[in-house]
Structures are given as C-alpha cells and as structure tokens.
Amino acid sequence: MFLERNINNLALTGFMGVGKSTVGRHLADYLSFQFKDTDEIIEERNKTTISEIFDSHGESYFRELEKKLIAEMLDWKQCVISTGGGLVAFEDNMLQLKKNAFVVCLWAKPETIFNRIKRQSNRPLLQTDDPLETIRTMLEKRKSAYRTADLMINTDTRPMRQISQIIIRQFRQAQQQSGKQNHPTPLS
C-alpha cells in the first residue's frame, strides 16, 4: 500500500504530557508556521472543554470531532499541529495526517508522564484510582499506532532545543524528498 505525500505541515503526536504543545509552539516560532492544537480547536468550536465533551457526549463523540478536524487538515499549509494524544490511535487518522504532514511522535516513560500531568484536572481519561497504571495501559494500546510516525523522539531528558533541532532537520529532509520525488511513500 502506498500513500501520496505532499509534506506541507509538521504534526506532533504522542501521549498527553510528552510536550507536544510546548515543543510545537517552539517549532512554529522557529519555522514561522502557524501553531494549531487540535484539542484547543475542538474546545473553541464546541465552546466547552474536552473534559466536558467526554462527560456530556462520551469518548466516541470526541473521536468523531477529531476525525472531522483531520479532514480539514488536508487543506492546511505551513502549520505545526499538536494532535490530541489518542488521535492517531485510529489508523485512518494517521493515514490522513500523513498525506500532508511529517508526523513526529514524542514519547516519555509512564512515570515521567505521570509526574508532568498529575496535578492537572483536565485529563478525563486519567480520572481513575490508579492513573499511573492507566497511563501504562493506554501507552501499550497505542504503541503500534505511535510507531507509525515518521520520527519518534524521547522527551524524558532531552532539552527542548535539542528535540526541536532533531525535528527540524528531519522535517526539512522529508520536505525535500517529497518535493523532488513524486514517488509514493510505502506504508508499514
């Protein structure tokens, strides 16, 4: 199976708390791209928080909102996109995202993620008796989806500047390859 790619954007995926928004804003400034956060867009359009959407309509409804937003992304150019943590857990979403974006998965150990987000109350999927175990379970379920990214970077101990440099170098190489070649990219 092949995917025609025209890399106009940079998309950051990964579990909550790995640094997608922080790294994304830094990259957008450096590249002079727009920064777009899918969770923020969904909240703005629905005039409510992600937690309230989960409470009122459930996770399936939220995932449908994400899917519709991904369809819009095909028209975006020169954007750094921070995706919701579960957006790429669905193969169709990743395929759509890869059509015009270089996809980077940021990752960290469950303990690192837990320490970064444990004081945040806006994480509906972690409202459990054992959030650390929930993080481990969810990471395991999403591992194969995250591995389909073009690049994976561990954010446990790397400084943001180093993370950004790695991403920019790989992004520019991917842009050059997609611009020079009209060969489809094989999907794994």
Please check whether residue 16 is in contact with residue 154, taking contact to mean a CB–CB distance below 8 angstroms. no
Distance between CA atoms of residues 17 and 14, nearest Å: 8
Distance between CA atoms of residues 78 and 129, nearest Å: 41
Architecture of domain 2-175: 3-Layer(aba) Sandwich (3.40)
How would you write the pLDDT of the chain (188 residues) with one tens digit per residue? 556 788 999 999 999 899 999 999 999 999 999 999 999 999 999 999 988 998 899 988 998 999 999 999 889 999 999 998 888 778 888 888 999 999 999 999 999 999 998 877 666 666 778 989 999 999 999 999 899 999 999 999 999 999 999 999 999 999 888 765 444 444 43
